[in-house]
Amino acid sequence: MLVGVTVMERNIFRLFSKIWMIVGLPILVAGQISLDAPLKDFTIPGFGKDGLPTWILKGSELHYVDKKNAEVRRMNLQVLVGKGDRNVETDLFSPVAFFFLKENRAMGQKSLRIHGNNFKITGRQWQWDGNNRTVKIQKEVKVTFNENVKLF
């Protein structure tokens, strides 16, 4: 028995303890990210070193490989214009991609489709580098322009 604690104070403490176990603890546990459970139909923004948004990653499923890397199903990576402009400059689509979330890059062995304002690019075995704003496609590359191109 605690000295100096009234019966009423003990009852209040017990009541708050029960409320915590029923309400607070499940909320605390549910708020933690589980690396075992995939995210479904998700949207994750990416930010540049200046703190401004540079891309938006969407997909049907994201499976964490570890805290920094994930496999993405039905990836739609929207690359933004940048410098605070949230308009989409380019869309990248792939059925499966490996995304390095903290490194601002992704890669995939399966197909990649890129849609821009006046062009489309398709191919396989690709790498995206968000820091340098580049895409490298290794196989079966096809580029289509939707406007006239003057060569000379």
Q: Which two three-digit tokens encode residue 18? A: 């029960």
Among positive and negative, which fits the CA dihedral 55, 59, 64, 65?
negative
- Report, as an integer, the average pLDDT of 129-135: 93
- Asked if residue 9 has pLDDT above 50, the reply is yes
> What residues does each domain of the chain span?
1-32, 39-145
- Report, as an integer, the average pLDDT of 138-143: 96
Residue predicted with more confidence, 109 or 102 = 109
8 A C-beta contact, residue 37 and residue 64: no
How far apart are alpha carbons 76 and 113 in whole angstroms?
A: 10
Q: Which of 47-51, 57-61, 71-75 has the lowest mean pLDDT?
A: 47-51
CATH H-level superfamily of 39-145: Lipopolysaccharide (LPS) transport protein A like domain (2.60.450.10)
Full strand arrangement of the beta sheet holding 105-115: 39-47, 53-64, 69-82, 85-100, 105-115, 119-129, 134-145
How far apart are alpha carbons 16 and 74 in whole angstroms?
A: 46
- The reported pLDDT for the residue numbered 2 is 47
- Asked if residue 46 has pLDDT above 50, the reply is yes
Query: pLDDT grade, residue 121 (50/70/90)?
Result: very high
pTM recorded for the entire structure: 0.72
| Total count of residues recorded for the chain | 152
8 A C-beta contact, residue 48 and residue 82: yes
